Chains A and B, each alone.
Chain A
């Protein structure tokens, strides 16, 4: 396509320059000002993203190779930039939400000793996420994919003095690493199969059926499941809430976790070519969404509720991809980025105000009077999540419900269940947090509205959660022009009034039921926990899935111990050492012969003589 737009280069150069300035100049000189170059770079990147979106909107995408990264013999891997519909739409969301969250984190992390380290790490993550969205081949995609994982490790474990944070960071990184096993193997097989990993070449992939195809598709699903917390590998996301709230907001709500879905959308031509795979993705998505929604309903910690809600919505997006509706999935990805970030930042406000990093449901209540702005933002985002009409969530969720309705059967039932469940847990959180303090709750005295530097980004994000839905047609248009990336992806289905009514009705019904339950006389939320501690514990342990994971880890460590200690050190190495002692024993035995005693030596003399005589005699 046309030569490289300067804005695309800026996406890389601005953060790199800011990081270099922050690390080498600001950190030694004035650590508390490290956020200045970083925020400037955020602005520049957001502007560049907007410019690129406009460019793609007017039909001019770009796919340019900057330089050849690795090469040997006939094979080579480029390092390049690809600006096309899918990439840019997600890029805009990531750039804007990322910038606002980094502004927010300046306020949130003000007093923290590791302030400059945090800001820089967050910006490094920002850079790698953007790199991931605009990379033009699988190997480069894998580079940023891993970099994002590494940043998440250091950010989740930022407060490294906390035991839980360290454990969560390790769990997150190793789970992502397990998922990346799939992606690396898929990339290798793609190269073996197609000699090149350029995204552009995958349009005509359905015409080269080969035995590796299903394997590549499965591996890509496995990688996406890890990164986007789909069923088997979702458990690291709720624990990742140990990190500071801006981290949870940026990585575990808006950007990083969507990378898996982005991978599925990017490799849609490959996935659609494999017969059963989309169906499997839909099933995995639906199961994850419902399972996580149920768990979200039973959580007590604010951020963990939102974490499970993210898992549920990622399942929803995967469900949409599985149904073949990748445009709906991307649209929901964008809207989800906005309202989930708002929800997390509101939780952040509460946590910041209460001075604790983890706030449980029983430490809040009746906050709408003390934190009005946070309440308003939270309400808008909650409505958007539940899919209530004016907010963005309604449009994107409705698109997915339409697709489910078309597929009919189990998909339609699953769609309705997800709509109802997500409305249920978000309204429970809304009522418990902001409405009249329940007798069991004891909100802290210090809860007050957040300072402006934190309140403004929340307001903007809430505005986004409201307005983005209305930009539905423009987003769809953008997806299709620019580089022809998706293989004849169906356009967004029309808003069928019947489906919309069904969705809205369910959401309202769920809201009423939850209100009755939470605000009722003996508040249901604490009531069933006291009466059924066993059930509560089961829900806390993700219905036994955590024990399965813990078992797997324990078994791996046991295998390592057996191989490392028993086999290697105690048997094999000991055997080799024993050869040494055996030689020494042999030599000691030998020296015993020379005992210096006259009679013994005489005996040996006689034996020797006799032998010689016998030999002489025989010959």
Chain B
């Protein structure tokens, strides 16, 4: 059981990662990001289930909660970028250039 879940979560994690890496729009990357976090929570939950006690899932729950908070902030940032009149794409956001 856990083998399947872990392989699924690994696959999903990599897909999420690919999503972030390959897409140029911020929102698409955001989705990939969320996916990665959820997959991590899933893997955490799965291992927690092996221990048979309830505490394990607390961590998974908290991860979910934090991910939700992060999602909100992420979306606000993206909106803030758009509202300042710039396309929400990675190419245009080069302020950090060394």
Contact = CB atoms under 8 A, between A and B. Distances in A.
Partners in one complex: yes
B91 interface: yes
A591 B98 CA distance: 5
A596 B97 CA distance: 4
B41 interface: no
B97 A599 contact: no
Given A599-B24, A599-B90, A606 B17 contact: yes
A595 B94 contact: yes
B73 interface: no
Interface in B73-98: 90-91, 93-98
Interface in B32-85: none
Nearest to A591: B98
A594 B98 contact: yes
Nearest to B21: A602
A593 B29 CA distance: 21
A599 to B, nearest CB: 5
Given A597-B90, A598-B90, A599-B90, A606 B96 contact: no
Interface string B11-37: 000000100110010000100000000
A603 interface: yes
Of B21, B24, B29, the most chain A CB neighbours within 10 A belong to: B21
A606 B21 contact: yes
Nearest to A593: B98
Contacts of A595: 94, 97-98
Contacts, number: 31
B90 A594 contact: no
Contacts of B96: 594, 596
Contacts of B97: 594-596
A596 B24 CA distance: 14
Contact of A597 (B17, B20, B29, B94): B94
Contacts of A602: 20-21
Nearest to B23: A599
Interface in A572-619: 590-599, 602-603, 606
A596 B95 contact: yes
B98 A598 contact: no
Contacts of B90: 597-599
Nearest to B22: A599
A471 to B, nearest CB: 97
Contacts of A591: 98
Interface size class of A (residues with CB under 8 A): 10 to 19
Contacts of B98: 590-596
A594 B29 CA distance: 20
B16 to A, nearest CB: 12
A202 B11 CA distance: 105
A301 to B, nearest CB: 78
A598 B93 contact: yes
Contacts of A598: 29, 90, 93
Interface in A67-91: none
A599 B92 CA distance: 12
B21 A599 contact: yes
Contacts of A597: 90-91, 93-94
B87 to A, nearest CB: 13
Nearest to B97: A596
B88 to A, nearest CB: 11
Nearest to B89: A598
Nearest to A599: B90
Contacts of A596: 93-98
Nearest to B96: A596
A612 to B, nearest CB: 15
Of B17, B29, B91, B98, the most chain A CB neighbours within 10 A belong to: B98
Contacts of A594: 96-98
A592 B98 CA distance: 7
A381 B30 CA distance: 116
Contacts of B94: 595-597
A617 to B, nearest CB: 14
A181 B17 CA distance: 82
Contacts of B29: 598
Nearest to B90: A598
A120 to B, nearest CB: 72
A602 B17 CA distance: 9
Contacts of B95: 596
A137 B21 CA distance: 92
A599 B29 CA distance: 10
B69 to A, nearest CB: 21
Contacts of B91: 597
Contacts of A606: 17, 21
A592 B97 CA distance: 8
A597 B94 CA distance: 6
A93 B93 CA distance: 98
A588 to B, nearest CB: 10
Contacts of A592: 98
A557 B20 CA distance: 69
A599 B91 CA distance: 9
Nearest to A588: B98
A474 B47 CA distance: 131
Interface in A413-433: none
A179 B17 CA distance: 85
A602 B96 CA distance: 14
Contacts of B24: 599
B95 to A, nearest CB: 6
B79 to A, nearest CB: 17
23 contacts: A593-B98, A594-B96, A594-B97, A594-B98, A595-B94, A595-B97, A596-B93, A596-B94, A596-B96, A596-B97, A596-B98, A597-B90, A597-B91, A597-B93, A597-B94, A598-B90, A598-B93, A599-B21, A599-B90, A602-B20, A602-B21, A603-B21, A606-B17
Pairs of residues from A and B, 5 with the lowest C-beta to C-beta distance, nearest first: A594-B98, A596-B96, A596-B97, A591-B98, A598-B90
Given A592-B98, A594-B96, A596-B93, 15 more contacts: A590-B98, A593-B98, A594-B98, A595-B94, A596-B95, A596-B96, A596-B97, A597-B93, A597-B94, A598-B29, A598-B93, A599-B21, A599-B90, A603-B21, A606-B17
